Structure 1
Amino acid sequence: MGILSCFIKKAEEEIKPKKAGGHGEHWLTALESDDEIPSSVIESIENPEFLEPLNQNSNKINAYFSQGEMLKICTITVNNQLWTAYPFAAAGIAHEIKIDSIEEWINEREAQIRCSLGDASLAFFDIMYFKNKCIYEQGKKYNFLLSALAYSLTKAEPKTLKDREGREFSTKGVAAFSPFEKGDIDDFVFQAPVKEVLESEFGNRTIYRIKTPLFRLNDEDIDIFIFALASATKGYVPSVGDDIEGILWLQGYTR
C-alpha cells in the first residue's frame, strides 16, 4: 500500500460507517477528574516535550507530546484546529503482531487494531496511528510496543477453581485476559503476576509501571507494561510476586 493509496476510500470502507470513537473513560486512567482535561490539553500544546509535525494529503498535522516520564498526553491538531487528545503510556514491550483489521475512527487520525499474537486474538488502540496509518497492510506482521493503562487494579487473592472435568486448580500465578463486556474492543479484564514495579510521578500523582504477562503462549510469557495511578489502585501498592487483577485499556504503537 503506497502513501497515496491510504487516502483513497475503498468501496467496502464507504459501506461500513466508521466508529465515532472517543476518550471519555480513558482520561480517568491518567487524571482524577474530567475538570483536569482542558488544562492538561492546553499544557501539552504550550509546553510540549516534543512535537511531531506531518503533512498528509495537503493537511498540516501537529502532534504535541506532553512532559512526563511514564505517562504523556498526546494532542493532535489538523490545520491548526484541535482534532483529538488522549493519554498514553510512554513505554511498551515489543511483540511481533499480525494486523487482522483496522477500525479507523471517523476523524481518520485514530484507530483500533484487531490483531493476532500467536494464537491469541486481541485489539489495541494505536497511539501513533496518525503517523503510521499509511504503512499498514492487513495480514502483515509488525513489531508493536504493547502497554496498558489501568482503570482499576488490585491484589488478586488465590482461588481454587474446577475445570470442566472437575479437576481443581489454583489461580495463583495465572496470566490471562478476556474482553471487558462493558467496554470497547481494546478494554480487558486481566489477572497476572507482578514481575517488576517502578514508581514515579505524573504531575502531582503517584504512578506505578508494572511489568507483567498479559498471557502465556506455549509457556512463554507475553509481557507488557501496565501503568496504574495510585487512584486506580485505591491504596494498594503493587509488589513483585503479587498476583494482580483489574481492568485495562490496551495500547500499542510501532516506531
Structure 2
Amino acid sequence: MSSVEESQPLITHLVELRNRLLRSIMFVLIVFCGLVYFSNDIYHLIATPLLEQMPQGSTMIATNVAAPFFTPIKLTGIAAVFLSVPYILYQVWAFVAPALYQHEKRLIYPLLFSSTVLFYTGVAFAYYVVFPIVFGFLTKTAPDGVAIATDISSYLDFVLTLFLAFGICFEVPVAIILLCWTGVTTPEDLKEKRPYIIVAAFIIGMLLTPPDIFSQTLLAVPMCLLFEIGLLFARFYRPKEDETDNGSSELTKHKE
C-alpha cells in the first residue's frame, strides 16, 4: 500500500473532526445569540443566592468600568456552552462511534446520557443546596462594621469555580465505570480502598470549596454516595481482555 493511500484515512478523520468541531462551535454561537438579550437576567438569577443572604440594603458592586457590561456577557457565553453540552457530546459520540463494536455502542449510550445528567445535577445541587448554605455562613461571619459589597466579577469567578467543581465531582460514577471497563482497576480493589477514597473525597472537598466545614461536607458526602453507585454499575462493564479470555475458554471447552 502506498503512502498516499495510507494517508487518506487520516485526512478523512481530520476532516470529520474539523466538521464536528465547527458544528459544535456554531451550535454554541446560536445558543449564545438566543441568550445574549437576557444576559442581565441570567446574571441576576446566578446572583440571587448571594443577594438573598446579604444584609438589608446591601448591593453588589462593580470595581471596573466595563464590568457591568462584560461580566453578564461572559456568563451568558459560559451558559451557552453549558446548555450545549448534550449536542457537543453527541458530536463526540458521532465521531468515535464508527470505531466501536456493536456491544460497546450499547454500553456507551447509557454512559453518555448519565454523564450529562450527572453534570447538570452537580450544577443544580451547587446552586440550590450549597450556595444558600455557603453564602449564609460567609455573610453572617463578617466582623462588625464591615459592609458586605461583593464585586460582580469576583462573584462570577467564585460561582463558576463551584459549578465546575460540583459538575465534575458528580461524574465519579462514570469515572469508576471507565476505570473498571478499561481494566485499570476492579470493583473489588476499589471496595478494599474505600476508606482511602472517603478521606480523599473530603480532601477534594476542602480544596475545591470555601474554607468552611459545611461546603466541604456537602461536596464530599455526595462524592462518597456516587462512588458507591459507580461500584454498583461497574460490574456491568467488563474489560475487553476478560471478554476475550472468556470467549476463548468457552471455545476450547466446546472443542473438547
- TM-score normalised to the size of structure 2? 0.22
Structure with greater proportional strand content: 1
The structure with the largest helix share of the pair is: 2
Report the TM-score when normalising by structure 1. Answer: 0.22
